[in-house]
Amino acid sequence: MNGITFDTSFGRAALVYRVRIRRIFLPTADSSGLEAELALLSPSLVGPHRSLITDVVGRLQAYLTGEPVRFSLECLDLASCSPFQQEVLRVTFAIPYGEVRTYRWVAAELGKPGGARAVGNALARNPFPLVVPCHRCIRSDGSLGGFQRPHLKEKLLSMEGYSFH
C-alpha cells in the first residue's frame, strides 16, 4: 500500500491507496499523527494509479475551499467494508451538496426503518470521509450527531451553505 499527505485549506490530510483508495484521513492542523500512521507506508505517488490519486487529491483540495465538487465511488476500495456498511456508504454518497439527511432516513432508504443506530455506527467507521459525505447525516432531532471531529462537521456543513436553525 501507498500513502500520501497533502495540504488543504483545513490543514494537512492524507489518503492510503493500493489500486483504489483504501482510507482518507480528515485534515488536521497537527499532522504529526498523520505522518506517524503513514510512516510504515511508501509515501510516494508512483505507479499506474498516479492520475487517479492526483485527481482525487485535487478534488478534495477544491472541495475544502468551498467548491461543490463531484466525486465518484469508483475510486474507492469498498471491499474492506462489510456489505451493510457498503450499502450505507452508497446511500450516504448520494446526499446532495449542502443538504442533510437523518440517520433514520438512510436506514429507511435501506429498508431497515429501525436501523438508525446501525447506520450511525457504520458511518462512524467510514474510511472515506468527504468523498462519502457522512458529515451530511444528522440526528432526527436536528443535532449534528457523531463525527470524528464535531467542530469540523459543523464547519463543513456551513461551508456547503447548510443553514442551522
| DSSP string of 114-132, one letter each residue | T-HHHHHHHHHT-SSBTTB
Specify whether 81 is catalytic.
no
Q: Could you identify the residue written with the cell 461543490?
A: 68
Q: Residue 8 and residue 11: Cα distance in Å, rounded?
A: 5
If we measure between CA atoms, which residue out of 127, 128, 138 comes closest to residue 160?
Answer: 138
- Residues catalogued as catalytic: 134
